[in-house]
Amino acid sequence: MTKGFTLLIAIVVMGTVLLVAAGVTNLAVKQSLISSTGRDSQYAFYAADTGLECALYWDVHNPTGVSAFSTSTGSVINCNNQSMTVGGTVVSTFTLNLNPDPFCTAVTVTKRDDGSTAIESRGYNSCDTSNPRRVERAVRATY
């Protein structure tokens, strides 16, 4: 009568240990995903900040002394060894691919009628638009 009791206890203990191990593994996988999302968000923010800094430089500190985003004439700017033509319109848009990492940014500079300027830079952790883990972060400057 007691011969099967030890086997039953061993199976119950083994099942309990297995359930706890599965729960801990599931928690570790979820924490890993949260951690990688935070890292990707940080990369996207840095890409957006890079685009904003590029636009600010060419708008405020252009070596010619005139904003590269002037609504009257177009200009060629260079950021991260990439040349883009901007200006000549009220709204200028350009994109940057940040190498060697696969990050990119889309920057929009708007010259308003009241003389103010608005810059919006959207950074991405991946330039692949079909990537399901693509993260976007945006920064704006108005002055």
Structural contact between residues 13 and 89, judged by C-beta atoms closer than 8 angstroms: no
Within 8 A by CB and 6+ apart from 77, the residues are 54, 58, 68, 83, 84, 86, 94
Structural contact between residues 50 and 96, judged by C-beta atoms closer than 8 angstroms: yes
**pTM given for the model:** 0.76
Q: What is the pLDDT of residues 74-97, one digit of tens each?
A: 899 999 889 999 988 999 999 999
Chain-centroid distance of CA 50 in Å reads 11
d(CA 23, CA 30): 11
Is residue 72 very low, low, confident or very high in pLDDT (cuts 50, 70, 90)? confident
CA dihedral defined by 87, 129, 80, 108, rounded to 10 degrees?
Answer: 20
d(CA 22, CA 43): 32
Query: What residues make up the domain containing 127?
Result: 3-142
Structural contact between residues 137 and 45, judged by C-beta atoms closer than 8 angstroms: yes
Provide the domain count of the chain. 1
Identify the pLDDT of residue 65: 82
Chain-centroid distance of CA 10 in Å reads 51
In the three-class reduction of DSSP (H, G, I as helix; E, B as strand; rest coil), residue 25 is classed as: helix
Q: What percent of the chain has pLDDT over 70?
A: 99
